[in-house]
């Protein structure tokens, strides 16, 4: 993987890209033991970077989307259950899933080693839309169809005020929520007396799970693609 040297300097020293270029011109940067005279792109797997005689252990941020299968918990480590990291080739000490899914829920997960962006995704103030496809064990009645836009009461006396239902058949539909409360989708449908038999997250913001993205498949995406989660 090739990356601009000024990005590495900026991240390592917490300075701007312009300041990183100045540091290069001050002869403070070595690549493979040679003083760097101008900004270049380097190969993270081959090149050794030193700043002020200190080797830089740079870990580039990577972004993945994962089509989670049922039966796995969204955790890095778990003594009782199989975790998603047991079926994907990523280091659970470095990568994290942002936006948990229940063990029996399938669908879109974002996995990255970019903690800063991860916290933005998880921050409730951004009200990022999360769209789920669901099926219930019975059939819908008029109660649920006539309820919108009134709040839905879930656990801990919390009222969900912002949501959107789309009904596809007499027992299936989409539900879009803008928070991430514990078991929120299940709790919202339980409010109407329904039990979920199948649940899958298909979209976060404008980032969609492609129909060709197979269950259990991990796919690397760019930072630009990931920014779709912040679009409504």
67 neighbors 209 (Cβ within 8 angstroms)? yes
d(CA 103, CA 121): 21
- Give the H or E element holding residue 118: helix 115-122
Q: Which is more confidently placed, 14 or 18?
A: 18
Which band of pLDDT confidence, cut at 50, 70 and 90, is reported for residue 137? very high
Q: Give pLDDT, residue 172.
A: 98
Token match 């020293």: residue?
Answer: 13
The burial class, CB within 10 Å (0-12 / 13-18 / 19+), for 136 is buried
Write the pLDDT tens digit of every residue in 96-117: 999 899 999 999 999 999 888 8
Which band of pLDDT confidence, cut at 50, 70 and 90, is reported for residue 130? very high
Q: List, as own/partner pairs, every contact residues 91-96 make where C-beta atoms lie below 8 angstroms and the sequence separation is at least 24, other chains included.
A: 94/59, 95/62, 95/64
Q: Which is more confidently placed, 171 or 56?
A: 171
Q: CA gyration radius for the chain?
A: 22
- Strand 106-112 versus strand 63-68 pairing type: antiparallel
Q: Give pLDDT, residue 59.
A: 74
Both tokens of 166, joined, read 């789309």
Using DSSP's 3-state secondary structure scheme, residue 122 falls into helix
d(CA 4, CA 24): 12
Checking if the pLDDT of 1 tops 70, the result is: no
Q: Give pLDDT, residue 146.
A: 94
d(CA 51, CA 205): 39
Domains of the chain plus CATH, in order, are: 2-55 (3.10.290.10), 63-124+214-226 (3.30.70.580), 129-204 (3.30.70.1560)
d(CA 82, CA 100): 15
Q: Give pLDDT, residue 12.
A: 83
Which of 7-11, 143-147, 156-160 is predicted least confidently?
Answer: 7-11
């Amino acid at each position: 993987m090739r990356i601009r040297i000024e990005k590495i300097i900026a991240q390592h020293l917490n300075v701007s890209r312009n300041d990183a270029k100045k540091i290069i011109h001050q002869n403070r940067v070595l690549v493979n033991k040679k003083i760097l005279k101008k900004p270049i792109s380097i190969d993270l797997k081959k090149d050794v970077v030193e700043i002020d005689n200190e080797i830089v252990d740079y870990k580039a941020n990577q972004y993945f989307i994962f089509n989670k299968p049922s039966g796995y918990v969204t955790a890095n480590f778990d003594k009782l259950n199989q975790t998603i990291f047991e079926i994907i080739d990523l280091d659970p000490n470095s990568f994290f899933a942002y936006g948990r899914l229940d063990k029996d829920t399938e669908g879109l997960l974002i996995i990255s080693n970019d903690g800063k962006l991860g916290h933005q995704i998880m921050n409730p103030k951004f009200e990022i839309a999360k769209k789920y496809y669901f099926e219930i064990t019975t059939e819908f009645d008029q109660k649920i169809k006539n309820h919108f836009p009134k709040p839905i009461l879930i656990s801990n006396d919390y009222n969900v005020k912002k949501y959107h239902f789309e009904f596809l058949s007499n027992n299936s539909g989409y539900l879009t929520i803008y928070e991430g409360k514990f078991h929120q989708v299940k709790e919202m449908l339980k409010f109407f007396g329904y039990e979920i038999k199948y649940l899958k997250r298909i979209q976060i913001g404008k980032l969609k799970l492609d129909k060709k993205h197979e269950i259990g498949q991990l796919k690397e995406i760019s930072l630009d693609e990931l920014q779709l989660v912040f679009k409504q």
